[in-house]
Amino acid sequence: MEATNSVQVESYLGYIQDIRRLSEFTVICYRHDLTQFLSFLQKRDLDIFEVTAMDARRFIAELLGNRNMKSPTVNRMLSTLRGFYRYAMRQGAISMNPFSRIEGSPRYRRLPSVLSRRQIVSILSVPVSTFTDLRNSVMFHLFYATGCRLSELLNANVEDLELDQERMLVRGKGNRQRYVFINVPTRALVVRYLEQRQQFLLEKGTSGEEDSHALLVGNRGRRLSASSVHSIFEKYRLKLGLQTRFTPHMLRHSFATHMLDNESGIRIVQQLLGHASISTTQIYTHVSQERLRAVYEKSHPHGRKKHGN
């Protein structure tokens, strides 16, 4: 039974990766959630397609009973399992989704972390002495200049660049396409990178392979992976002495917040970020409001908060 359950999960993961084209990070999260569910089923000798609503409630109750499991994580796992069983229903394997009537914990939206202008300048000014340094610098510039998601930038190909128009075509969630724009300093850096990239691929012997189209390539000449990017960001966080977290998404958050701070309309930012709904973009207006309040309380004589007597 354990083997049969695993086969069904792998079939679903193949579907979301190859057919729905979800990001590598999303597939990893789904795999983690479903693996934990498989462990639950194995302990109870349950077939994955014979799970009842009561079994589903027991699983969620077990998660909620884990003090180390935060509500957003439980909600994500619940979403993963709803999606798995919706897929099973479409395949005709089951007639009822056992997780359909289970409500998640109330959601709260944590304000995204944003880097300061000074931090951004430091990040975009990292020294370049090797091809790898140049690639990393190009990556930082592109994240901040375009507001791309990690998956969008990693999936970008050289052919997606339109440098004469100072823009790049990206494919976002649901395979929706949009153009993002590249500023003049970033364009100059990309041109320099592309010149060295071709020679680098020839030296690695990968210039004729499929990955040779990838805009960002790793040290072996293959398309750069998400895990490599996270390692690069952590390396530079330590090198730059950043006391905050440093991730690709923080550069995306900073792009959106700084655009709004400079009076860009929220609809423009929505389109640049590739958000399907304006409500997703509105969280960045909250960030700006929080910053406005901080400036007010620091600067206005009657707005200053008193500390002590």
Active site residues: 149, 173, 249, 252, 275, 284
**Maximum Cα–Cα distance for the chain, whole Å?**
72
The amino acid at residue 168 is M
Q: Please say whether the beta carbons of 168 and 177 come within 8 A.
A: no
User: 252-276 in b/e burial notation, b at 16+ Cβ within 10 A?
Assistant: bbbbbbbbbeeeeebeebbebbbbe
Tokens coding 159:
């052919």
Q: Is 149 exposed, middle or buried (0-12, 13-18, 19+ CB in 10 A)?
A: buried
Phi first, then psi, for residue 222 (nearest 5°) are -95, 170
Task: Provide the 3-class DSSP secondary structure of residue 23.
Answer: coil
Phi first, then psi, for residue 241 (nearest 5°) are 70, 30
| Among candidate residues 203, 172, 205, 150, the one with its CA nearest the CA of residue 272 | 172
Residue 15 DSSP one-character state: I
Q: Please say whether the beta carbons of 156 and 170 come within 8 A.
A: yes
Distant-in-sequence contacts of 11-19, Cβ < 8 A, 24+ apart: 12/84, 12/87, 12/88, 15/87, 16/83
| Among candidate residues 129, 187, 198, 199, the one with its CA nearest the CA of residue 161 | 187
Tokens coding 143:
């994240």
| Among candidate residues 125, 256, 141, 128, the one with its CA nearest the CA of residue 188 | 141
Q: Please say whether the beta carbons of 97 and 80 come within 8 A.
A: no
Residue 214 DSSP one-character state: B
